[in-house]
Structure 1
Amino acid sequence: MGAREETVHELDGETIAGSPLSVRKMQTFEHVGSLAAVAQTFAPRRTRSRLFMSIYIVIIQAKINVLLPFGPLAVMLRYLTGKHGWVFLFSLIGITPLAERLGYATEQLACYTGPTVGGLLNATFGNATEMIISIYALKNGMIRVVQQSLLGSILSNMLLVLGCAFFAGGMVHCDKDQVFNKASAVVNSGLLLMAVMGLMFPAVLHFTHSEVQYGKSEVALSRFSSCIMLVAYASYLYFQLKSHRSSYNPIVEEEGSNEGDSDEEEVPEITQLEAICWLAVLTIWISVLSGYLVDAIQGASESLNLPVAFISVILLPIVGNAAEHASAIMFAMKDKLDITLGVAIGSSTQISMFVIPFCVVIGWMMGKRMDLNFQLFETATLFITVLVVAFMLQVMINKFVFIAKLSYSDNQPTCWTRHINQVRLEH
């Protein structure tokens, strides 16, 4: 018995010692297990470092974020002092960096979702600030504030921003021609004219006193027109993002510049989950400040001795979209006129064809008599503005097609192809 046990132990020892492959496998498993333990130890540390990096990129890195403390100050002043003038000003200033960061988070998310879904995200969140302020104003029954603020957004985009962008781009690039896409300009101009027609019919019905039921017929017509405009805007999105996406490609003058642009593809700075979380956080904070802003409008008008119309038409659109306006001018100075027109005219198209009809439908659900009757002076101003911008773009398009024909008549078909596919803006 003792000899057998010794033999067994000897055999076991020989088996273990004589199989170095098994030993290496066991050592490998122990090594992998130790790496897994180290990874589990450092995983929370990496998560915290990534969180701090995301906060730094979104909250601290941008220079405009020095205005972020004005938001909490507005909330504190609302409950400590009750001075509506300061609450309004601080809320207005505090919303400005939030609107810019909301656009940044949307652009970061669009890097992951692709151009189609990214275009829809830009259409949704591009004017999220105006939509949130309008919904709060509708809830408080301030229909004129909603109408005037949305009208002011359209006028500021088409007159102030577009004019400053053309002027700044012309001053910087005075020795060359700037180029923009013809298809985008023509389609946006047509949609703006359609939106103006939708806004004119309720006003004409009201001021001609031809209603069957005074006050009710214009509301019914406004709701019907709003539904038609929403369908038209959805069709426009399908046209732009799906069926004719190639028509909206940015114009480049040379093939070499196209190759250079491909090398400078935008790399996202935050992850997809972080972008979604930041969109939710920024939207909630904008909603909170918008509530305080709307509640303080009437008191601010009295304390600052400013009419509500001036606050609605001038202050709310310009300050609320200050970051977007500045970016449009900067893109024009960088010779990216396509993006400038997309920000200025495209944003006006979104407001007129989507945000205004959406507010009418939301007011319908709330039981508010929100309509498209923007009064005679405001409607005439909008009509003249859209007409002037559309006429200016169409004149430039026709002018450069004429230049293309002259180039073709000089036996230069390459110039014909070049000019027929792009529109040049001379200074």
Structure 2
Amino acid sequence: MFTRKVKSVLLMSTISWIHPQHLPLQINFPKQMGSVEEKIDLDFDEEIPFSSSPSARKVHNFDFETTHVLPPVNLVDSPLFKQIRIRPIRSIYIVLIRAKINILLPFGPLAILLHYVTGNHGWVFFFSLLGITPLAERLGYATEQLALYTGPTVGGLLNATFGNATEMIISIYALKNGMIRVVQQSLLGSILSNMLLVLGCAFFTGGIVHYKKVQVFNKAAAVVNSGLLLMAVMGILFPAVLHFTRSEVHFGKSELALSRFSSCIMLIAYASYLFFQLRFQHNLYSPIEEDGDNNENPDEEEEIELTQWEAISWLAVLTAWVSILSGYLVDAIQGASDSMNMPVAFISVILLPIVGNAAEHASAIMFAMKDKLDITLGVAIGSSTQISMFLIPFCVVVGWCMGIEMDLNFQLFETATLFITVLVVAFMLQEGTSNYFKGLMLILCYLIVAASFFVHVDPSNGDN
């Protein structure tokens, strides 16, 4: 009995010298020690001698078989706490710091400062243009991250929608200020930029990178988009023809009524197209050849870097900041035209769309270099389709609600430019193949369009 008591005291003394952090979660002693089956049960009310840990000073009903000894948890050093603490910093770094184009972000606040300090519209316009460029690209990145959670079909729709968020915000600001021609020309310029410059650069770079083979894409999807673009041209062409042939029943009124009616029809057609695409013909827009080089690196997919709610939050923040800068940009257009001796038509058709299409431009080239031309067409041609079939009619309906007489009469010069551009791109896409020469032709066509608008004089308000 005395020996057993000494063993128990020695055992407890040994345990007391062990720091609680070194103890396992559960201590189970074997029931068989030699040939004797015993259960150690200690009941001490006095302090255990030789104990250096305050937590081990008193032991009551200590049962080694059932008691769990939990080490103290340091919450500050725990991985979960570190993730909660570091995650916002990492998200800010990914969105606002890591991309090289973010070096242009400070130009946005600088434009606002110059607006109130100097009032120089030329510099305000230029710096606003530079400040919006990285925001448009970051909007595209946040949309792509959100699309990884929604699937390819909905993701493509989100990419086209938020990719055109910059154009939509600028158009609504200009519409509120009564700048109808700026709205019409900026939206027309976005269509021309997407179909000629963005698609041309994508075909050119993709053809150079993959010069040893002919790049192919889904011809069925290209035909559907070309048909929608031709329908949009028809809706824009008829009010202009009605105006310039002087064949209206009520001069000035019939043209506006026809534009509003055609806008409603175009919105219905675009909604039907979305329903057709999302519900019935989603296989029509899948890549045509999944074998070969496309499946050699299946792990070469987009990496998820933002959580779903982080992507949504960044979309809201970036859209709000684009809205603020767009107001200063629109207010400085006329002053910038006078100070730089540059036509407003050139600024609206060429300069503004290049900024608004920064996200589409980068995405289309990147996917073309990866030999994913179906996604490239979805970005470039899909964005043009959305602008022509949704954004332009939407602005007409919004102007109708605001009491602003915006119509689909884009004037003869702009309408003819759009019609010829759609025909050229439709002929380029009819074979379902791509190479660097087709891309070069589209880029050269865009240079001709840009030079034409540089020497183009917009009709006066009286003639308009």
**Aligned with 2:248: secondary structure?**
coil
- Which residue is equivalent to 2:141? 104
> Is residue 338 of structure 1 aligned with residue 374 of structure 2?
yes
**Aligned with 2:298: secondary structure?**
helix
1:28-58 superposed Cα distances (whole Å, 9 cap, x missing partner)? 5xx4xx44x7279876653231111000000
AA matched with 1:389 = V
1:104-159 superposed Cα distances (whole Å, 9 cap, x missing partner)? 00111111122343233223212000000000000000000000111111112212
- Which residue is equivalent to 1:402? none
Q: Residues 106 and 279 of structure 1 are in contact (CA less than 8 Å); yes or no, is this contact kept in structure 2?
A: yes
Distance change in 2, residues 1:193/1:221 (3 Å): same
> Is residue 264 of structure 1 aligned with residue 300 of structure 2?
yes
Could you tell me which of 377, 381, 391 is aligned with 2:417? 381
Q: Residues 136 and 355 of structure 2 are in contact (CA less than 8 Å); yes or no, is this contact kept in structure 1?
A: no
- Which residue is equivalent to 2:17? none
User: Could you list the runs of 5+ residues in structure 2 that have no partner in the other structure?
Assistant: 1-40, 46-58, 438-464
- Which residue is equivalent to 1:48? 85
Larger helix fraction of residues: 1
Looking at structure 1, the residues matched to 202 and 299 of structure 2 have their Cα atoms a distance apart, in angstroms, of 27
Report the TM-score, using the length of structure 2 for normalisation: 0.77
Looking at structure 2, the residues matched to 170 and 120 of structure 1 have their Cα atoms a distance apart, in angstroms, of 26
AA matched with 2:248 = E
- Which residue is equivalent to 1:200? 237
**Rg larger for:** 2
Looking at structure 1, the residues matched to 371 and 414 of structure 2 have their Cα atoms a distance apart, in angstroms, of 34
> Is residue 280 of structure 1 aligned with residue 316 of structure 2?
yes
Distance change in 2, residues 1:52/1:211 (3 Å): same
AA matched with 2:276 = F
AA matched with 2:152 = P
Distance change in 2, residues 1:128/1:371 (3 Å): same
Could you tell me which of 201, 221, 227 is aligned with 1:190? 227
Superposed displacement of residue 267, structure 1: 2.7
Identity level (%): 75
Q: Residues 92 and 320 of structure 1 are in contact (CA less than 8 Å); yes or no, is this contact kept in structure 2?
A: no
Superposed displacement of residue 323, structure 1: 4.2
AA matched with 2:272 = S
> Is residue 424 of structure 1 aligned with residue 460 of structure 2?
no
Report the TM-score, using the length of structure 1 for normalisation: 0.84
Superposed displacement of residue 263, structure 1: 2.7
* More off after superposition, 129-138 vs 219-228: 219-228
1:232-258 superposed Cα distances (whole Å, 9 cap, x missing partner)? 112212222221111111133x62434
Superposed displacement of residue 184, structure 1: 1.2
Superposed displacement of residue 18, structure 1: 7.0
Distance change in 2, residues 1:166/1:265 (3 Å): closer
Superposed displacement of residue 377, structure 1: 1.1
Q: Residues 190 and 356 of structure 2 are in contact (CA less than 8 Å); yes or no, is this contact kept in structure 1?
A: no
**Aligned with 2:236: secondary structure?**
helix
- Which residue is equivalent to 1:298? 334
Distance change in 2, residues 1:111/1:330 (3 Å): closer
User: Could you list the runs of 5+ residues in structure 1 that have no partner in the other structure?
Assistant: 1-9, 397-422
Looking at structure 1, the residues matched to 186 and 84 of structure 2 have their Cα atoms a distance apart, in angstroms, of 42
Could you tell me which of 263, 275, 281 is aligned with 1:226? 263
1:282-321 superposed Cα distances (whole Å, 9 cap, x missing partner)? 0000000000000001111111111111111111112332
Could you tell me which of 376, 386, 394 is aligned with 1:350? 386
**Aligned with 1:372: secondary structure?**
coil
Looking at structure 2, the residues matched to 232 and 79 of structure 1 have their Cα atoms a distance apart, in angstroms, of 45
**Aligned with 1:211: secondary structure?**
coil
Distance change in 2, residues 1:261/1:198 (3 Å): farther
Q: How many aligned residue pairs are there?
A: 383
Could you tell me which of 218, 237, 241 is aligned with 2:274? 237
- Which residue is equivalent to 1:67? 104
Q: Residues 119 and 241 of structure 1 are in contact (CA less than 8 Å); yes or no, is this contact kept in structure 2?
A: no
- Which residue is equivalent to 1:132? 169
Could you tell me which of 126, 131, 142 is aligned with 1:94? 131
AA matched with 1:179 = V
- Which residue is equivalent to 2:14? none
Looking at structure 1, the residues matched to 134 and 78 of structure 2 have their Cα atoms a distance apart, in angstroms, of 37
**Aligned with 1:268: secondary structure?**
coil
Q: Residues 160 and 379 of structure 2 are in contact (CA less than 8 Å); yes or no, is this contact kept in structure 1?
A: no
Q: Residues 233 and 353 of structure 1 are in contact (CA less than 8 Å); yes or no, is this contact kept in structure 2?
A: yes
RMSD: 2.4
Looking at structure 2, the residues matched to 248 and 362 of structure 1 have their Cα atoms a distance apart, in angstroms, of 31
| Correspondence 1:397-408 to 2 at 5 A | none
Q: Residues 139 and 359 of structure 2 are in contact (CA less than 8 Å); yes or no, is this contact kept in structure 1?
A: no
Looking at structure 2, the residues matched to 333 and 205 of structure 1 have their Cα atoms a distance apart, in angstroms, of 45
